[in-house]
Amino acid sequence: MIDAAGLALPLPAAGDQDAGVSAAEPSLPPLPVLWRRVPTGRVLAFAPHPDDEVAGPGGVLALHADQGDAVRVVVATDGTSGDPDGRHAPGALAALRRRESQDGLRHLGVRDVRFWGFPDGHVLSEADLQNAAALAARELAEHRPDVVYLPWELDGHPDHHRLHVVVTRALAATGFRGLALGYEVWNAMVPDVIVETTAVFPRKQAAMLAHASQIAYTQYDHCLGGLSAYRSLVHLRGRGYGEALRRVSGALPAALAEPT
Ligand SMILES: [Zn+2]
């Protein structure tokens, strides 16, 4: 995750703020479908920082692992911005965050994780984006996923946004024909799918707590647990837990949609 406070985020231009109320009626988004199961197949999940793989699609990845899918996680950055008070020795934090990611994923039943090790919070040039997209394309070619998870397009943190751009470029470049789904961490989305994660939610919480270096700063388990509880609102009568997903490419399998 890495708290975005203090980062220079783009603000609307003054002209945008003064534009007044639009006369166009907003269109009503369709209700998300409910999945109590996830699609079967090979899974590749891209995380901007060590912990986003849990915070975003952690319950979904546990469901994939439990049904025997080959799940691989790729963590793009080294997470070294996640220690603003300098509590850990320089150089040790990246290794610590890798271990926390591996420990957290073990709670979810996932052992296949790769770390690209890019510095986080880094302003990527166009050349950097192209190099990262080439890396993502290689991951797609090696793992041959049927389902890809990535940060959704408006997740609101610069690193999350960049990884969305990187992965969607790679999906396009490789002619990916499977299903790509965005997950939420920093900004709640208008979802296409709610996945019920009630049965695996305790494991997601345990996986979040494995990221002790981050929980020491921010109660991510509380916040993201709250988001999972909130996602039970639309289809689950506010009971249990869910995770929201938004389609990036491919067709949602109609057979998974539960009558509600
Ligand atoms: Zn993050």
* Segment 38-67, tens digit of pLDDT: 999 999 999 999 999 999 999 999 999 999
Q: How far is the CA of 159 from the centre of ligand 1 (A)?
A: 7
Confirm or reject CATH 3.30.2130.10 for domain 31-249, answering yes or no. no
pLDDT for 9:
41
- Domains of the chain: which residue ranges? 31-249
Q: How far is the CA of 152 from the centre of ligand 1 (A)?
A: 12
Q: How far is the CA of 49 from the centre of ligand 1 (A)?
A: 5
Q: How far is the CA of 233 from the centre of ligand 1 (A)?
A: 25
Q: How far is the CA of 82 from the centre of ligand 1 (A)?
A: 9
Q: How far is the CA of 42 from the centre of ligand 1 (A)?
A: 24
Assess contact for 184 and 244: CB atoms under 8 A. Answer: yes
Bridge partners (DSSP) listed for residue 45: 73, 149
Q: How far is the CA of 139 from the centre of ligand 1 (A)?
A: 20
Of 119, 121, 182, give the one whose Cα is nearest residue 155.
Answer: 182
Q: What is the mean pLDDT of each run of 10 residues along the chain (260 residues)?
A: 48 55 87 97 97 98 98 94 87 93 98 92 80 97 98 94 96 98 97 98 98 95 97 97 98 92
* Segment 59-109, tens digit of pLDDT: 999 999 999 999 999 999 998 888 889 898 878 999 999 999 999 999 999
Q: How far is the CA of 89 from the centre of ligand 1 (A)?
A: 21
Q: Calculate the alpha carbon distances from 136 to 19, 88, 165, 167 in Å.
A: 39, 30, 11, 6
